[in-house]
Chains A and B, each alone.
Chain A
């Protein structure tokens, strides 16, 4: 049963940046787009087991800190080798200054 989990406050993430959010055994990356929207993806790169939270957000792309592979964090699509496999994305909502991620329990 999917659940909405509070991940962080909206001002915990600078615009055009990313933070890590752990919930149970799962790890997520939460993004703040240049337009002020929020998005969530799986926290680890699909190429190797590396946290995306240390990467660089450029517009709607997240660049992985290990080999510079890129994903569109809005859709999860792989955009630059060496990543080939898409990133899983999760629904996000903002309420009263809090960012919620919908997590499958």
Chain B
């Protein structure tokens, strides 16, 4: 395929529409309707427990970090607080954007707003961009959320472990939106009726940041910024680490999530921070299944999916060399074997995209 153009307004975007890759019908493993209905059921209990634990830990850590400052003993508390702010909020933003975290809609919305602020993702804009990510997952020119483009820019990937580019882009967009403007790409996926909401949220956020900076100046201390804003940088590493594994090094321009998404078994702490999004193939195939039911869904359909990576380290061991090979060969990707008895990949349909798989 050669050079990719990731712009949502470029030639690859047009080609994806013309060839039927965009807005196509995706592969699904068969699950009986009754079972799927059971899996899709919403509950408040699991997310209430997890949210209480999340905010409780954040308050305790920020309190101790503040009290112990400037001693070095403050650092572990800020480190934990930072990961919960700059990484756990990514998965909360994600689950709430699907409306699957809670059964009660206002609870979903409340957590969605807080998490969007922490991640500097405008809650209106990103609802639409994430919808597109689900319609056209890793379709070049259509998916606005491709984390590692080909060829990978390692400097950018590594800088993002500290949130550098994401946060700067987020703050830049906030300032632009607060001034009453949206860029051309935003206008391709946000309906006109929603655009004033983008601007309103950006203005509210700007006020919060202004108040935080004013407090920091008044106190002559960085502490207010350690609590609001900076954790998006110093706590981003966990969500970048887990997020890269979602699709990194796998196929693009296909309509089968088994080819472009990765399920990875993770330790319980990472699963809490990531809210079970390590079951990523399952999530993309069935986005209506809440995070707390994904392990069950995984057990039910794993016979039809490539074997999961056994750990975060194993996921990186598969992905990182593939990304490095993409430096020289943009078409390279890892193609995982399906278990015996799984429905085969539709190689005929994906022929163009599947040119250079790993042996």
Asked whether A68 and B23 contact (CB < 8 A) given A56-B40, A81-B194, the answer is: no
Beta-carbon contacts under 8 Å, A66-105 to B: 66-68, 70, 80-82, 84
- Expressed in whole angstroms, the minimum distance between the Cβ of A14 and any Cβ of chain B is 8
Q: How far is the CA of A31 from the CA of B299 in the complex (A)?
A: 30
A9 on the interface (CB 8 Å rule)? no
B87 on the interface (CB 8 Å rule)? no
Number of A-B residue pairs with CB-CB distance less than 8 Å in the complex they form: 42
Contact B288 A68 (CB under 8 A): yes
Q: Of the candidates B37, B105, B135, B194, which one forms a contact with A67 in the assembled complex, judged by CB atoms under 8 Å apart? A: B135
Q: How far is the CA of A84 from the CA of B193 in the complex (A)?
A: 9
Contact A67 B40 (CB under 8 A): no
Chain A interface, >50% SS class: loop
| Total number of B residues with any Cβ neighbor in A under 8 Å | 21
Counting contact residues on chain A (CB < 8 A from B), the size range is: 10 to 19
Contact B131 A67 (CB under 8 A): yes
B42 cross-chain contacts in A, Cβ below 8 A: 58
Contact B23 A84 (CB under 8 A): no
Q: Of the candidates A47, A48, A63, A82, which one forms a contact with B288 in the assembled complex, judged by CB atoms under 8 Å apart? A: A63
Asked whether A55 and B99 contact (CB < 8 A) given A66-B134, A67-B134, A84-B193, the answer is: no
- Expressed in whole angstroms, the minimum distance between the Cβ of B263 and any Cβ of chain A is 20
Contact B37 A56 (CB under 8 A): yes
Q: Which residue of A lies closest to B134 (CB)?
A: A67
Q: 1/0 per position for B322-357, CB-CB distance to A under 8 A?
A: 000000000000000000000000000000000000
Binding site for A on B (CB under 8 A): 23, 36-37, 40-42, 98-100, 105, 127-128, 131, 134-135, 191, 193-194, 286-288
- 9 further A-B contacts with Cβ under 8 Å, apart from A65-B288, A68-B287, are A17-B37, A56-B40, A58-B42, A66-B135, A67-B135, A67-B287, A68-B99, A82-B128, A82-B131
